[in-house]
Every structure is written in C-alpha cells, then in structure tokens.
Structure 1
Amino acid sequence: MTRHILITGANRGIGAAMTRALAALDCQLTLLCRDCEAAEALIRSLPSRQGIRVLKGDFGTLAGIHAATQVMAALPPLQGFLHNAALWPQQKMINPDGLEQAFVINHLAPFLINLELEGRFKRDGTRVVQMTAGLYPIGDRHYTATAIGDNFSAFKTYASTKLLNLATTMSFAERWQGSGATINAVHPGVVRTELGAMTGLKGVLLNWVKRLWLTPEQGAEAPVYLCSDPALQGVSGRFYDRFKETTLAPFMQDASFRAAVWQQALQLTKKAG
C-alpha cells in the first residue's frame, strides 16, 4: 500500500531532506509550506515527481492555522503526519492575535492541527510525529509569560515553546490511546539548518560551529524512521533522541502541569474539550 504522508515546513532544511527520503520510499506526499515556490523547486529536483502535492499554509496566526487545517481535512487518508514547521526567533515578534510568534508556530499550530484533525487521524490510523528539541528541559515553564513574550529570550524562547508543545504532544498520546492514531516526539539531533540563523559576528561563529553538526539528511533519518518503519506500528507517547527512546524530564510527568498547558492552549485557540 502506498503511504500518504503530510509534512509541514517541507521546503527546506530537515523538511526538504524528509521529503527526498520519503519520496525515495515511494510515499505519496503532501507538502504544506508557506513558500510554495521553494517547495515546487524541491519537487523538480526529485527523480520522480509523481504523487506529490503542495499546499500553501501559514501558521503565523490562529486564522492561518485554522484555514490550513480546513484544507488538510479534505485530503485523502493520511498514514503519516510530520509536524516539522518551526521558528527560532531572534527578536520578539507579537502576531495579530497578540501572541508571541514562536509560541504560535511551535506550540499552538501543532496543538490546533491535532485537535481539529484528531477525528480523521483516528479514522485513518495516522502515525503523527512531532519534531522537538533536546534542549526543551532548559525552557521556561511559565506558559502565561511565554504566550505573550514577557519572558522572551532569543535562545530560551525556542526551548520554552518546544517544552510546551511536548507537554501537549504527550497529552494527545493519552487522549488517543486505543484509537489507532499514534503520536511520538523526536529530537532529530543538532542539525545544520537555517533555523536560528544569526547575523554579524555571532552568525559567522555559528556557521563555523555548524560544520560539526549533522547534515539535514542525517537529521531526517530518525523522523522518517518513526513515520514509516513497520516495527513502530502502534507505538505511541514516546520521546526519541534520534533513534533512542529516552525518558522525559521529571516535570513532564506532572499531570497538573500538563493539564494547565492544555487548558491554556484550549483557551487561546478558542476550542472546547
């Protein structure tokens, strides 16, 4: 059976590498991207362009996320869904909803997508993979401040938003138990991409250090494995550091913390239940 897999943020970095790897496995792919021209250029570079579609989606606002979700709801059955779109902000940006931009893209977008599509995920038996970051434990757990950027830090905000996203990812795993849908989180390794790119001297130094990091192709290996390998059928609620299943930080086991993060996400996205 040909697997249909959707990848968000698929036009560059790890997303592009995952696209190439899954296309080589003869998967049918839907690429959801803000930059459709870059995605089309990526498709033209592939040996085969069959079974690949591009959809435009912008996760920068709640309205944009909802609109993209409505489009995704009309797609053919999904066997896999890779949450890859992310932002590592270098300056504080408040979006039209009055929320910090990375908080919306990294946390509320996958939350709202999972919530609005969970009916079809259960029906399709979708294997959902959430890209996360190994540095989540250093994030700030003050989710109210993170939502509006009151604790903004060019380094720490990325970790904070990934921390909150990971909390809701594990809550979805509990919510979907026995439904056929699964969800796991993966830290792909420290990968040489444009995420977190800096300018000036810091940018020069970072680019030099990046030469020691994994390539996008190496970073794509673990999420592609989680999304497609038959050995992981039915596995859910796990956190992987690349290919190694890893225990989450103790605070992530705190049911009251995870419930509070969930309730905030419901309130901000104006969802019920």
Structure 2
Amino acid sequence: MANPMPLSGRHALVTGAARGIGAAIARALAEQGARLTLVGRRLEGLQALAAELPGEVQALAADVADPAAVQAAFAQARERFGPVTVLVNNAGQAESAPFAGTSLELWQRMLAVNLTGSFLCAQAALPQMLEAGWGRIVNVASTAGLKGYAYVSAYCAAKHGVIGLTRSLALELAKKGITVNAVCPGYTDTDILTESIAKVVAKTGRSAEAARAQFTAGNPQGRLVQPDEVADAVAWLCGDGAGAVTGQAIAVCGGELM
C-alpha cells in the first residue's frame, strides 16, 4: 500500500511560495507530510498561506537574488526544522519586451531572479543535503526553457540557463543520493498570467477573452495548465519513487512541445 505521507520527516523549502504555482506546490508537499519553509519577498502573503497549511510550516522573507539573504534564510530554516532536504526553486518573474527594446537592467533582472536565485538556493541547500545523504532539488523552469518565444528573450535565456544548471548539477550529484530535475509549465492559470492578459488588453484593445485565447492557442488541449497540475509533478519528483529520475526537464504543458 502506498505511503499516504511520503515526505513525512522531510524538510522542504519552497521559494516564491506566496501565490500561484508556488502556493500549489506548498499545499501538495504539506499534504505529503513535509515540514515546510516558505520563502518569498513579501512576508504577509507567506504567513497567510502558512496559517492555512497542515503540519509544521514557517514563513521567511528573502530575496533569492541576494546572496546574504539566501544564506540567512537557509540558516534560519535549518535552525527550526533541521536540514533542508527538499528544495523547490519556484521564485521567478517574466517581463516582455522586443529584443531591441530590452534594457540591460531588464536583462539582468530576469537573470537574477530566474537563474541566479536558483543557483544561490541550490548552493545554500547542498551542504545540508550532502550531510543528510539524501536530497531533492526541483527547479520550476518553463516551456520557455525548452523553446523560444518572441518578445521574452531575457526570460527565455534565463530559463534555458535553469535547464542547463539542472542537467549539470544532476550529473555532479548522481552518486550522492540527490536528484535534480526541472518542471517546465506552459501557460498556467495564475495571477501572473491574469496580469499579462490585462497588459495585452491595455496595449491592443482586444477583449480579455480574445487575449486569453492567444495564450491557449499553442496548447493542443486548448486550455491553460492548472497550478495543481504543476504541483503534482513537483511533488512526485520530491518523493522516493522518483529516485531514478534526475537531470530531466519535464514539460507540463498540454502537449505544446510534441
């Protein structure tokens, strides 16, 4: 009989956890028995989610692109719940601009939150996982890490970097009991997408329904991915049953990349 609480006793840290995919991942891991540390820039939203979740949960404010803040958060997380053995690098941000209009500041911001943040958090978690002799790192990338999209060159470059980081680190850790994988959602029904639809409406004068259809057009299932669907894939990768799965970039996108 399958263990209903496969992550019982494990300490999982989720970045970008306050809303959307991150919140769905936090709920999925809590349901599987993990002790949870929720990390994000806005403490209030994290605390509200922590109050809803079962089990042991703490909320910590930190900018994942700030090395000192990351180290402090991981030290504080360990102090309460022990070594972090499950890391979900979910914090991310997407901004659009034509390539010619992409400023260096936008480029660096996309790299900082989407790629450097994953690097810093993995470096902070790794000593704790090596000490425990077991670990799971799941990077929430994007289908933009597996293909190109127009007008989001900086975001695509950052997410392609996340995939490369995932594969390289998986090879380094293959014999250490630690797996490293990426989950790559397509367009997902979150607040961030709602904001993107609003921007399309404001810029083009199209209806919200027409703008939404633009985002679902590339999905063979003709719909948006749901956050819980991404969370289910992440939760599976965090368990013992996925111990032979490492270095993979798993697309959760309704068949967009077939």
TM-score range, shorter chain: 0.7 to 0.9
| 1:6-38 residue CA offsets vs partner (Å, 9 max, x unmatched) | 100011001111111222222211101111101
Q: Report if the CA contact (8 A) 1:122-1:176 is conserved.
A: no
Q: Secondary structure at the match of 2:189?
A: coil
1:232 maps onto 2:237 in alignment: no
Distance 1:218 1:115 in 2: 28
Q: How high is the TM-score relative to the length of structure 2?
A: 0.76
Report the CA distance shift for 1:138/1:208 in structure 2 as closer, same or farther (over 3 A): closer
For structure 1, the residue ranges without an aligned partner over 5 or more in a row are 141-152, 248-273
Structure 1 SS opposite 2:33 = coil
Cα distance, 1:101 vs structure 2: 0.6
Identity of aligned residues (%): 25
2:119 equivalent among 99, 111, 132: 111
Hey, what does 2:85 align to over in structure 1?
A: 79
Partner of 2:94: 88
Number of matched residues? 228
Give the superposition deviation at 1:166: 1.2
Pick the aligned partner of 2:60 from 55, 58, 64: 55
CA contact under 8 A between 1:85 and 1:106: conserved in structure 2? yes
The Cα of 1:42 is off from its aligned counterpart by: 1.6
RMSD of aligned Cα (Å): 3.0
1:92-241 counterparts in 2 under 5 A? 100-124=108-132, 125-139=134-148, 154-195=151-192, 197-198=195-196, 199=199, 200-201=202-203, 204=208, 205-207=210-212, 209=214, 212-228=223-239, 230-241=240-251
Structure 2 counterpart of 1:225, one-letter code: W
> How far apart are the structure 2 equivalents of 1:63 and 1:2?
28
Change (3 A) 1:232 1:82: same
Gap change, CA 1:183 and 1:105, over 3 Å in 2: same
Asked if the contact 2:14/2:90 (under 8 Å) is kept, the reply is: yes
> Matches of 1:159 and 1:99 in 2, distance apart?
10
For the 8 Å contact 1:34–1:58, the answer to whether it is kept is yes
Distance 1:139 1:243, change over 3 A: closer
Q: Secondary structure at the match of 1:135?
A: helix
Relative to the length of structure 1, the TM-score reads 0.72
Cα contact 1:60–1:101 (8 A) shared by 2: no
Compared with structure 1, are the counterparts of its residues 64 and 101 closer, same or farther at alpha carbon in structure 2 (3 Å cutoff)?
farther
Match of 1:34 among 41, 55, 58: 41
Instruction: Give the Cα–Cα distance (whole angstroms) in 1 for the partners of residues 10 and 67 of structure 2.
Output: 29
Q: Deviations over 1:137-193 (max 9, x none)?
A: 4459xxxxxxxxxxxx85222111000121122111111121122211111343112
- AA aligned opposite 2:235: V
Deviation at 1:206, TM superposition (A): 3.8
Q: Which moved more, 1:25-34 or 1:62-71?
A: 62-71
CA distance in 2, matches of 1:201, 1:99: 22
Closer/same/farther in 2, CA of residues 3 and 206 from structure 1, 3 Å limit: farther
State the 1:73 CA deviation.
5.8
Q: Does the residue aligned with 2:192 lie in a helix, a strand or coil?
A: coil
Contact 2:84–2:125, Cα closer than 8 Å, also in 1: no
- How far apart, in 2, do the equivalents of 1:103 and 1:128 lie? 19
Q: Which residue identity does 2:29 align to in structure 1? A: L
Structure 2 distance, partners of 1:69, 1:34, is: 14
Cα drift, residue 195 of structure 1: 3.2
* CA distance 1:53–1:131, change in 2 (3 Å): same
